[in-house]
């Protein structure tokens, strides 16, 4: 397990709605070992992008921050 900072923990929690949405679209009854490569890549991409967006938003709300460019 990763030792997350409080901001990282908040960003981590922020991905859950997007993750739940994509799993529901794929079918929550479908076992993970039956997911296609594309479905897994989609989940990873959504989680990474949502995490980055949330973390950037949280960091921008801090008293001092620098712009961090991301591709998502």
Distance in angstroms (rounded) separating the CA atoms of residues 58 and 42: 24
Q: Is the pLDDT of residue 70 over 80?
A: no
Average pLDDT over the chain reads 89
pTM for the model: 0.78
Q: Is the pLDDT of residue 59 over 60?
A: yes
Mean pLDDT of 19-48: 96
DSSP 18-69: HHHHHHHHH-TTS-GGG--HHHHHHHHHHHHHHHHHHHHHHHHTSSS-----
Q: Is the pLDDT of residue 68 over 80?
A: no
Distance in angstroms (rounded) separating the CA atoms of residues 21 and 54: 17
Q: What's the pLDDT score for residue 25? A: 96
Distance in angstroms (rounded) separating the CA atoms of residues 35 and 54: 26
């Amino acid at each position: 397990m990763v030792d997350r900072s409080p901001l990282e923990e908040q960003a981590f929690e922020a991905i859950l709605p997007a993750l739940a949405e994509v799993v529901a679209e794929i079918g929550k009854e479908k076992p993970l070992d039956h997911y296609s490569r594309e479905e897994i890549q989609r989940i990873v991409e959504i989680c990474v992008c949502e995490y980055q967006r949330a973390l950037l938003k949280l960091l921008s709300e801090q008293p001092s921050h620098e712009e961090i460019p991301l591709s998502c």
